[in-house]
Amino acid sequence: MDRGQGPDLRCALGDPLVDLEELLQRFLAEDLADLNRYEGTFALAAWDARRRQGWALNDQASMLNLYYGEQDAGLYVATNAFSLACALGMGLNPHGVQGLLARNALLAPTTMFAGLRRVNVGEHIRYRAGMLPYGEHWNKYEPEADYRSVREAADAAAVVVDRASGYEKRPPG
């Protein structure tokens, strides 16, 4: 990311339905309360050189992978793990390689490279003063239900499917 004087924004776009400048301004103002309203496929990285802080986030479903690593008191972000790992001189992560071979896939935040992580579904990361906290911005649309049996949960799921498909139960006769 640019280490110049003002905020710098980089975005890998898929099919964004996002006003990127508005989103950048929200991060600069530290207004992260309603990030879930941004829709579409995107991955975003921003750096504010004056405050020496940066952010990285992707869309709610993580359609674009977003990888990050810390090095030399800086945050580095890319959509390609191999390129980023090579640029930062990172070696393989034995646990990541083992996970890939066992599952034929890697589960976020694990990557195949030591010191490199992937932003998980609905997460955003913030880098400031050497600290790298993350937050969740993907809100669940329904409160989590407390079912007492598998049958009760299946009946509730059937109602949702019936509503979504337009099927209405009719009384016998």
| Domain spans of the chain, in order of start | 7-141
Phi then psi dihedrals of residue 148, to 5 deg: -95, -15
Q: What's the CA angle centered on 82, arms 117 and 35, to 5 degrees?
A: 45
Phi, then psi, of 18 in degrees rounded to 5: -125, 135
Higher pLDDT, 90 or 53: 90
> Is residue 28 predicted with pLDDT exceeding 50?
yes
> Is the pLDDT assigned to residue 76 strictly greater than 60?
yes
Mean pLDDT of 113-140: 81
Q: Are 113 and 93 in contact (CB under 8 A)?
A: yes
For the domain covering 7-141, report its CATH number: 3.60.20.10
User: Confidence class of residue 3 from pLDDT cuts 50, 70 and 90?
Assistant: very low
CA proximity to 118, closest of 79, 89, 61 = 79
Q: Is the pTM of the predicted complex or chain greater than 0.75? A: no
Q: Which two structure tokens, joined as six digits, stand for 8?
A: 């710098």
DSSP state letter for 144: P
